Amino acid sequence: MTDSRKTIIAARFDAAHDYERAAFIQKQCARMLAERIRQHLATHPPRRILEFGCGTGLLSRELVSAFPKAEFHLTDISPAMLERTRQHLAPLPATVHLYVMDGENPQPQGATEGFDLITSSLCLQWFEDRAAAFRDLAALLRPGGEMIVSTLLTGSLHEWQESCKNAAIACGVPDYPSLAQLQEDWPTGGRGEWDVCTLHDPTPSARHFLKGLRMIGASLPRDGHRPAHGLRRAMHHFDTNFSHVTYQTAFGIFLKGC
């Protein structure tokens, strides 16, 4: 991914002042991921945790509550998002560190000892090279450490894709990966698996759907997409045929070898 595109992504999330008001799926996914983490690590709580793409701290809050003795490194590409996380966690525990970091090029601050857990909720879909990012992230895990993440799969937002196709206009929905692609992206030196959950976001209209994307900073289309004439036709098709948007979510667990 180019630096200029990352700058645009960061700027859009910086400007997402109403993120939590519109982040219905993000909240649901963060809760589901946190519950998976709690159950999976119940017998061996992590001591050092790195979260990339922490946003406003939806997952962070769950994890700080679940593992109060852990040392946290909460990171995001957006400085404004980090500030919102800081506010939600105030007063900030001494064991929580917040700083700007690009999860696709992870360079954590502080001690170089490995992390017991690396996690993120709905951030990976912004990466251009997941496989390379997974290799770099796995290198930060201690032997036996785990990476537990969620992301979006192909089939997500298919209602809007169908509406654009019906209107004969280009659709800016990213090319989300298949489950097979995600499985192939896991790095060597460990083993990983994914499970899938289908989530539905109720929406009364295409206008409401598109406004919601802007409110959470997720309105940047895939690279090379240009606004198309005929948007109103696509919105009309959506309004006539759909009352929700589908999100195919994948939850992954990678265990690094000892």
For residue range 129-168, list pLDDT tens digits in order. Answer: 999 999 999 999 999 999 999 999 999 999 999 999 999 9
Q: Where are the domains of the chain?
A: 3-154+175-199+249-256
Residue 219 pLDDT? 58
- pLDDT confidence tier of residue 253, bands split at 50, 70 and 90: very high
Task: Say if CB 137 and CB 147 are below 8 A apart.
Answer: yes
pLDDT in tens, 73-105: 999 999 999 999 999 999 888 899 999 999 999
Q: Which fold has domain 3-154+175-199+249-256?
A: Rossmann fold (3.40.50)
* Three-state secondary structure of the chain: CCHHHHHHHHHHHHCCCCHHHHCHHHHHHHHHHHHHHHHHCCCCCCCEEEECCCCCCHHHHHHHHHCCCCEEEEEECCHHHHHHHHHHHCCCCCCEEEEECCCCCCCCCCCCCCEEEEEEECCHHHCCCHHHHHHHHHCCEEEEEEEEEEEECCCCCHHHHHHHHHCCCCCCCCCCCCHHHHHHHCCCCEEEEEEEEEEEEECCCHHHHHHHHHHCCCCCCCCCCCCCCCHHHHHHHHHHHCCEEEEEEEEEEEEECC
| Both structure tokens of 211 | 């406004």
Mean pLDDT of 57-62: 96
Is the entire prediction scored with pTM above 0.85? Answer: yes
Residue 186 pLDDT? 98
Mean pLDDT of 173-182: 93
Most confident of 36-50, 85-99, 106-120, 217-231: 36-50
